[in-house]
Amino acid sequence: MGTQTHISRPTALITGIGGQDGSYLSEFLLEKGYRVVGTIPDHNPANIDRIRHILDMIEVAEDDLFDQEHIESIFRKYRPSEVYNFAANSVLSASFHQPILATMVLAMGVTRLLEAIRKITPEARFFQASSSEIFGKPREVPQSETTPFHPRNPYGVSKVYGHLMAITYRENHGLYACSGILFNHESPRRSPEFVTRKITRAAARIRMGLERELRLGNLDSRRDWGFAGDYVRAMWLMLQQDQPGDFVLATGETHSVRDLCEEAFSHVGLDYRDFVAQESESFRPPETAQLVGNPTKARELLGWEPRVHFRELVRMMVDADLEEIRRTR
Ligand code: NAP
């Protein structure tokens, strides 16, 4: 691709481009004519499965979010006009085992990126992937942009830091910096450690005779689950406004793990009750207040609505898992 083409195209830099959201956002931005540059962690440069199909259309740099000079060299080289910060180990239980690493990546990584923007490309627009985990044990239901923070794990605490740092650079340095308070969003590219994918994969594998049962924790836990493809569209919309701001991105509806099992197994012609066992040792006490987002601000100011609803999402994931089994058999 020649330099002249780059001059006329907006450039987006995506940290953690190899993850679920990085891959969907890349596809979305390529369709809009962006030059897409992404970073993947230097601890795992081989992890490009989700972006393999677009590798010849994007540029990928190895990333060291602990090295300020390295980050700034990426900004000097590509001069992005939009920056989306997704880099994370998003399995939040891992943050209990490695709280220092979680803080370095999820919290300090944000400051490093904002510093690079402030020094090198102050006109660039910044999206921070904040999380519903900042509400942890929520003080109100549903949660909105004004709900007090009450995180309950190192992941959530670090996300609060990143969230507040984006606001700090917006207010003190005049940067166009926004936080999207993301409630759970899923897809066929969701990592199998998450309960949604665990269930859709198991339904497909049991249907194909590869497994016999699925052991889960509390089937009555409820979550606000949306489709990742819808959420990346909202992230982009957030960076196209006249003024920067923070937005809850959520469906506003909850479904139980049991609903998910029912939907996934019935899609392959099975009754989940014959295959799903509830494990008492991984049973957590019932949640007293629900994590469920109020997306009114996004609806009113961004004109955003989720297009893929729960049933369609679950079916899409099961179909993709069936397809993967057929392909690799
Ligand atoms: P994901 O699939 O886990 O993607 C995160 C990416 O960041 C992975 O490719 C990971 O690479 C990479 N990464 C990890 N450590 C890194 C480091 N030190 N430097 C650079 N990259 C690093 O997560 P996602 O679902 O796309 O989520 C995107 C963002 O939204 C994350 O910040 C997440 O915390 C946030 N979020 C997501 C949800 C959700 O429901 N999906 C909800 C709330 C917030 P490796 O896998 O190779 O380590």
pLDDT digits (tens, 9 = 90+) for 215-224: 999 999 999 9
The residue behind tokens 């949604």 is 196
Tens-place pLDDT, residues 61-82: 877 778 999 999 999 999 999 9
Give the separation between CA 317 and CA 211, rounded to whole angstroms: 18
Task: Give the number of the atom of ligand 1 that is nearest the alpha carbon of residue 44.
Answer: 47
Tens-place pLDDT, residues 19-74: 999 999 999 999 999 999 999 987 776 789 999 999 999 999 877 778 999 999 99
Give distance in angstroms: CA of 87 to centre of ligand 1: 5
* pLDDT value, residue 138: 95
169 is a catalytic site residue: no
Termini Cα distance of the chain: 38
Q: Which residues, 6 or more positions from 111, have their beta carbon under 8 angstroms from its beta carbon?
A: 165
User: CATH top-level class for 3-185+225-249?
Assistant: alpha beta
Q: Tell me whether strands 82-85 and 125-131 are parallel, antiparallel or unpaired.
A: parallel
Per the CB < 8 A criterion, the answer to whether 325 and 205 are in contact is yes
- Across the chain, mean pLDDT equals 93
155 is a catalytic site residue: yes
CB count within 10 Å of CB 28 equals 17
Does residue 186 carry a pLDDT above 60?
A: yes
DSSP 18-82: TSHHHHHHHHHHHHTT-EEEEEEETT-TT--GGGGGGTTTSEEEEE-TT-HHHHHHHHHHH--SE
**% of the chain at pLDDT higher than 90:** 85
Instruction: Kindly name the residue from 131, 179, 187, 221 that is annotated as catalytic.
Output: 131
145 is a catalytic site residue: no
Question: Which residues face 249 on adjacent strands?
Answer: 182
In angstroms, what CA-CA distances link 110 with 115, 146, 178? 9, 21, 12
Mean per-residue pLDDT, 180-189: 98
The residue behind tokens 């009450």 is 150
Tens-place pLDDT, residues 131-151: 999 999 999 999 999 999 999
Give the separation between CA 90 and CA 316, rounded to whole angstroms: 22
Does residue 17 carry a pLDDT above 90?
A: yes
Mean per-residue pLDDT, 319-328: 96
Q: Which residue is closest in CA terms to ligand 1's atom 4?
A: 19
Tens-place pLDDT, residues 85-130: 999 987 777 888 899 999 999 999 999 999 999 999 999 999 999 9
Mean per-residue pLDDT, 221-233: 97
Identity of the residue numbered 47: N
User: CATH top-level class for 191-224+253-292+303-328?
Assistant: alpha beta
Per the CB < 8 A criterion, the answer to whether 58 and 38 are in contact is yes
Q: Which residues, 6 or more positions from 166, have their beta carbon under 8 angstroms from its beta carbon?
A: 110, 114, 126, 128, 130, 177, 178, 179, 246
Mutation test residue for ligand 1: of 71, 90, 248, the one with most atoms within 8 Å of CB: 90
Does residue 2 carry a pLDDT above 50?
A: no
Per the CB < 8 A criterion, the answer to whether 313 and 227 are in contact is yes
Q: Which residue is closest in CA terms to ligand 1's atom 9?
A: 19
Q: What confidence tier does 252 reach under pLDDT thresholds 50, 70, 90?
A: very high
Mean per-residue pLDDT, 205-224: 96
Mean per-residue pLDDT, 226-240: 98
Kindly report whether the global pTM for this prediction surpasses the value 0.85.
yes
Per the CB < 8 A criterion, the answer to whether 76 and 121 are in contact is no
Does residue 1 carry a pLDDT above 50?
A: no
Task: Give the SS3 label for residue 190.
Answer: coil
DSSP 245-276: --EEE--S--EEHHHHHHHHHHHTT--GGGTE
Q: Which residue is closest in CA terms to ligand 1's atom 22?
A: 87
Task: Give the SS3 label for residue 136.
Answer: coil
Burial class (CB within 10 angstroms; exposed 0-12, middle 13-18, buried 19+) of 104: middle
Pocket of ligand 1 (CB under 6 A): 15-16, 18-22, 39, 41, 44, 47, 63, 65, 86-90, 105, 129, 131, 182, 184-185, 191
* pLDDT value, residue 288: 57
Residue spans per domain, the chain: 3-185+225-249, 191-224+253-292+303-328
Mean per-residue pLDDT, 252-263: 98
